[in-house]
Amino acid sequence: MKVAVLGAGLIGVTSAYYLWRDGHEVEVFDAAPQPATVTSYANACLISASRALPWPTPTSRQTLWRAMTDANAPMRVTKWLDPTLWRWGREFMSYANEKDFARLTRAKLAFAKFCQRELEDTIAQTGVDCGYQREGLLYVCRSAATLDAARARAALVGKHGVDMRVLSRDEVIAMEPALAESTVVGGTFAVTDAQGDSRAFTRLLAAWLGARGVKFTFGVTAEARMTGGGRSCRIYGPAGELRADAYVLALGPATTAFANTGWRVTGRIPIYPVKGFSVTVPVKDAARAPTRGGICEDSLIAYCPLEGDSGPVMRITTGAVFAGQDNGFVDADFAPHRAHFEALFPGALDWSASTVEHWACQRPMTPSSLPILQRHRFPNLYWNCGQGHIGWTMSCGSARVIADLIAQRVPSFDLTDLQRL
């Protein structure tokens, strides 16, 4: 069978790998000039299965009120009159209760663990060297209240088989000595969480697949059209039909724009783009810099040490802004990154370097915060989207499920509680 994959980010390239593994003829199309140029370009690089908790919670009303009224909140709504956001928000709030939170927590944590196993298997099978390290991630707290909340979160995920340990200040500093000058009061340690360069993984895996016959075609913007009297659909690019027996839509935040092409033949997609920001900064003093990735629970900044083109760098990410299709940024968007990181690791980074890289992207969020992995009403169209802010974590597991569906196998993971169209 020939399968066309739309999207050459993490989700699309891993989909291509699992489809190639099943023996299909695979071609990947993307509007960009190379793999991993949009959402997969400069994300947090953390595989944080322990934090795979649903966004809708019983306290979501308070969180959303702060998001609309507090300009300094980690989650912000700047386009609150957007009717698309209101439709998305109504479904989101329908899950903001104890029963659905428990159901979605169970499903998302289980799926994240399944996905991490698939990611590790993919790396082992292909030999792709993306700096993957499964040595745990550290979640630090700077206040007693935040530590209490982290302790409760550790207890919650522990009920679902996640090994997350609560640490004192001394234990945190023993694990990460560079925090000695900070006001950290304690934290948690997720034993099986990991880190790795997701952009390198995507591009290296694409090259690995290319050497084995998978074709990559760039600069193609696609649209869907109904065929066969509405019984199926075909995908077209500027040069004509992208011929295939089946199509996998792995377009990330562009999924909603694609769904609106071709007279909206694919129907409404319950995805809203949520913007996040990252800055990548050269390390100036390695003794003051963290040696492993982590998150500050007070500010919700994530940080991850990586190897850059000219030496060690630090990727720092934060933000969840509901801004519609606006993917722009200004200098002020990155002030929290510097302030909060310096509060933890003062003097570690060279913020004045010419190689400091600022970046923003949109994450494809579903109301349930679980992905959409299913066949469309058109039998030749499959959705692999909505992984949200943990696409790196969920990439390979999502790809395996899509390959199962195309092969008409029983899915490797129970899809009952995932987001549905």
Q: Within 13 Å and on the Cβ side, how many CA atoms surround 171?
A: 12
Kindly report, as residue ranges, where domains of CATH 3.50.50.60 are found in the chain.
2-43+200-270+368-406
Question: For position 224, what pLDDT does the model report?
Answer: 84
Residue whose pair of structure tokens reads 């989700």 in the numeric block: 11
Question: For position 266, what pLDDT does the model report?
Answer: 62
157-161: long-range contacts (C-beta < 8 A, 24 or more apart)?
157/50, 157/53, 157/109, 160/105, 160/106, 160/109, 160/110, 161/109, 161/113
DSSP state letters, 205-221: HHHHHHTTT-EEEES--
Question: For position 262, what pLDDT does the model report?
Answer: 58
Residue (of 232, 235, 197) closest to 217 by Cα position:
235
Looking at the domain that runs over 54-106+129-193+272-364, which CATH code has it been given?
3.30.9.10
What is the Cα–Cα distance from 419 to 272, expressed in whole angstroms? 13
What is the Cα–Cα distance from 2 to 95, expressed in whole angstroms? 38
Helix axes 10-21, 98-126, angle to 10 degrees: 60
What is the Cα–Cα distance from 366 to 191, expressed in whole angstroms? 28
Question: For position 171, what pLDDT does the model report?
Answer: 98
State the first-to-last Cα distance of the chain, in angstroms, to the nearest integer. Answer: 25
Domain at 2-43+200-270+368-406, CATH class = alpha beta
DSSP state letters, 252-279: GGGHHHHHTSGGGTT-----EEEEEEEE
Q: Give Cα separations from 37 to 32, 41, 360, 368, 407 (angstroms).
A: 7, 5, 11, 26, 29
Which regions of the chain are under pLDDT 70? Answer: 228-230, 261-267
Kindly report, as residue ranges, where domains of CATH 3.30.9.10 are found in the chain.
54-106+129-193+272-364
Structure tokens at 77: 């709504």
Question: For position 228, what pLDDT does the model report?
Answer: 65
Structure tokens at 395: 């990439």
Question: For position 372, what pLDDT does the model report?
Answer: 97
What is the Cα–Cα distance from 358 to 355, expressed in whole angstroms? 10
Give the tens place of pLDDT for each residue, 137-164. 999 999 999 999 999 999 999 999 999 9
Do residues 213 and 206 lie in contact, with contact meaning Cβ atoms separated by under 8 Å?
no
Give the tens place of pLDDT for each residue, 254-266. 988 888 765 456 6
Burial 83-113 (b: 16+ CB within 10 A, else e): eebeebbeebeebbeeebbebbbebbbbbbb
Question: For position 66, what pLDDT does the model report?
Answer: 86
